[in-house]
Amino acid sequence: MSLPFFTLARLCGALAFALSLTACGTTSEVTAGSQPDVYTVTGKATGTRMSWSTARSAAMDAANDYCKQRDQRVSIRSEATSGIRSLEEQTSTVSFSCVARVEQAARD
């Protein structure tokens, strides 16, 4: 069964429009903070009104990955956000520490 041409064209158009609105998130490198054992990472996103959520998720994922590589878990110290308008760049800067996993602490 094939779709009529006009239905297929509308479907492709809708898909292209949806993809153009998709927020794209990136992160900075994890850097050492101003205090010992405190790190900072910034997530950035643009594209939709939910970009702040994409930026925050990107920053949190990077912090989690950084600590996971050290066989630890993340402990968020602070978070700062910027960007208000829908199509402007949204950022989420997270300061965090890596701490022992609960299971590790219980065994020690």
pLDDT at 12 over 50: no
Using alpha carbons only, how large is the chain's radius of gyration in Å? 20
pTM: 0.70
Domain ranges of the chain: 23-107
pLDDT tens string 28-70: 999 998 899 999 999 998 877 678 888 999 999 999 999 999 9
CB 39 within 8 A of CB 96: yes
CA 106 and chain centroid, separation: 31
